[in-house]
A and B are shown apart, each in its own frame.
Chain A
Amino acid sequence: AQTVTQSQPEMSVQEAETVTLSCTYDTSESDYYLFWYKQPPSRQMILVIRQEAYKQQNATENRFSVNFQKAAKSFSLKISDSQLGDAAMYFCAYLRDDKIIFGKGTRLHILP
């Protein structure tokens, strides 16, 4: 069974607008970590944001924030004031047994 599901293969957003990428996951654990990684054309994996499940407060990193709904097992990423440099593949990931398991990714296009 797939642990991490990203239902949006591709999304587009106008520059300076806000976009939300969806992610759901499946786990029976109560404490775990979730991540959003960005993979630009260079293919370097870049950590965007990390959320610890026991923390109620949603993680925020500058223009990037998450909406973590533990009961619903949902972990969406909001990008505010989208910039051209945000264009990339975005992977939602779950830490299980010391291993990071990735979703299939969402390709984000930024429209100038």
Chain B
Amino acid sequence: GAVVSQHPSRVICKSGTSVKIECRSLDFQATTMFWYRQFPKQSLMLMATSNEGSKATYEQGVEKDKFLINHASLTLSTLTVTSAHPEDSSFYICSARAWTVQYTFGSGTRLTVV
């Protein structure tokens, strides 16, 4: 149990366009979802926390207008990278938490902006 599906696994987009990444909890209701960013050979950096039906809380230094997060249901959160630029190229990982202290991670999305 506690499976999180993240799509797409890889995406290449042109500079200036937007790209959406989906994070779904398949067999549980996620009260809270988290979005992380991981640069090559580095750790996971928390970008934002989203709760179903409310606005996301962004970590310091993360541009909320560039990284739009929507958590419309208890099983789906989306991250939209708007007006993407090459420096936004990274590995993005979502995580979902149920009522208990159990955090499950998606398989990640490798974003390349060309």
Contacts and interface: CB of A to CB of B under 8 A. Distances in A.
B35 to A, nearest CB: 11
Interface in B19-57: 32, 34, 38, 42-44, 46, 49
Given A98-B49, A99-B34, A44 B108 contact: yes
Contact of A105 (B43, B91, B103): B43
Interface stretch (B66-74, B79-87, B93-101): B93-101
A106 to B, nearest CB: 11
A47 B102 CA distance: 10
Interface residues of B, number: 17
Give chain A's interface residue range (CB within 8 Å of chain B): 10 to 19
A95 B32 CA distance: 14
B43 A44 contact: no
A54 to B, nearest CB: 12
A44 B49 contact: no
B107 A44 contact: yes
Contact of A91 (B43, B46, B101, B108): B43
A104 B49 contact: no
A50 B104 CA distance: 13
Contact of A103 (B43, B46, B95): B43
Contacts of B46: 99-101
Interface string A36-67: 00000011110100100000000000000000
Interface of B: 32, 34, 38, 42-44, 46, 49, 91, 93, 95, 97, 101, 103, 105, 107-108
Interface of A: 33, 42-45, 47, 50, 91, 95, 98-105
Given A91-B44, A99-B34, 11 more contacts: A33-B101, A43-B91, A44-B107, A44-B108, A98-B32, A99-B46, A100-B34, A100-B95, A102-B43, A104-B43, A105-B43
